[in-house]
Amino acid sequence: MQPRLVPIILAFIVSAEAFSVSGRISLLPSSIPASSSKREMVRYDPSAEKWLPTSPEDEDGYGPVGTLLRTGPKPLIIRMLSPDNYEQGVYKLMANENMSRMEAQGNFDAYLENPNDWAYNYFKEKGGGYKKDYVNEGMDVNSLILKGTWSTLLLALSARGVYCYNTGEYFYDFLKGMF
């Protein structure tokens, strides 16, 4: 590794703190709805102090790429850095809100992306307002093409920046021959 990259890598690692969840997420059981129309999908094990799925289907959801496509890099980084806490948060939502795995995962990803907006939408929904679909939102073809285009552009610019930093070349030198 080149010594010039060490400060960049350290800055990236330190800035990852910006992507952490502010405050602590309580993973202990709170009030579970008494009238449950669906089967019990997860249960709380007091001896292990963890939420556990009751069937293998409850462990299936979308993968890390699904998290990235639905809500962006912040929830993905949190999911990668603390997978156990992520799973416990999803299981707790499944139990407390009587949600399917996919629905709970979409809600938890939205919570990790922006807790205030998620809470606003949650309480609007509880008050009889619009129910936001966190599972399918942004997964239509047009949205995926737009996300892919912007991601490619940003990655190309980032790669150019790293290249110029390592070679000492001016960032806009490639434009000299065009104009």
Model confidence at 28, pLDDT cuts 50, 70, 90, reads: very low
Question: 80 and 27, same structural domain?
Answer: yes
Model confidence pLDDT, tens digit, residues 78-101: 999 999 999 999 999 999 998 999
In a domain, 113, yes or no: yes
Whether residue 145 is found in the same domain as residue 122? no
Asked if pLDDT for residue 19 goes beyond 90, the answer is: no
Closest residue by Cα to residue 133 from 103, 175, 105: 103
**Is residue 6 a part of any domain in this protein?**
no
pLDDT digits (tens, 9 = 90+) for 99-146: 999 999 999 999 999 999 999 999 999 999 899 999 998 899 999 999
Cα–Cα dist 120/63, whole Å? 26
120 and 167 housed in the same domain: no
120 and 158 fall within a common domain: no
Show the tokens assigned to 13: 């690692």
119 and 35 fall within a common domain: yes
Which of the residue ranges 24-28, 48-52, 139-143 would you say has the lowest mean pLDDT? 24-28
pLDDT tops 90 at residue 147: yes
166: containing domain: 141-171
Alpha helix positions (H), 24-139 = 64-71, 73-81, 83-97, 101-113, 115-126
Whether 66 is in a domain gets the answer yes
Task: Clarify whether residues 85 and 34 are in a common domain.
Answer: yes
Domain match, 92 and 162 both = no
pLDDT band at 8 (very low <50, low <70, confident <90, very high): low
Is residue 4 a part of any domain in this protein?
no
Let me know whether 121 and 85 are in one domain.
yes
Tell me whether residue 149 is in a domain.
Answer: yes
pLDDT on residue 7: 53
Whether the CB-CB separation of 53 and 93 falls below 8 Å is answered with no
Indicate whether 64 pLDDT > 60.
Answer: yes
Instruction: With respect to residue 133, please indicate whether it lies within any of the assigned structural domains.
Output: no
* 116 shares its domain with 159: no
Same domain, residue pair 102 and 162: no
pLDDT at 53 over 70: yes
In the chain, which ranges are E strands? 42-45, 50-53
Instruction: Decide which of 60 and 76 is more confident.
Output: 76
* Residue 120 located in a structural domain: yes
Asked if residue 154 belongs to a domain, the reply is yes
On whether the pTM is more than 0.75, the answer is: no
Q: Are residues 160 and 99 in the same domain?
A: no
Judgement on whether residues 27 and 62 belong to the same structural domain of the protein: yes
Question: What is the band of 62 on the pLDDT scale with cuts at 50, 70, 90?
Answer: very high
Mean pLDDT computed over 142-163: 94
Tally of structural domains, the chain: 2
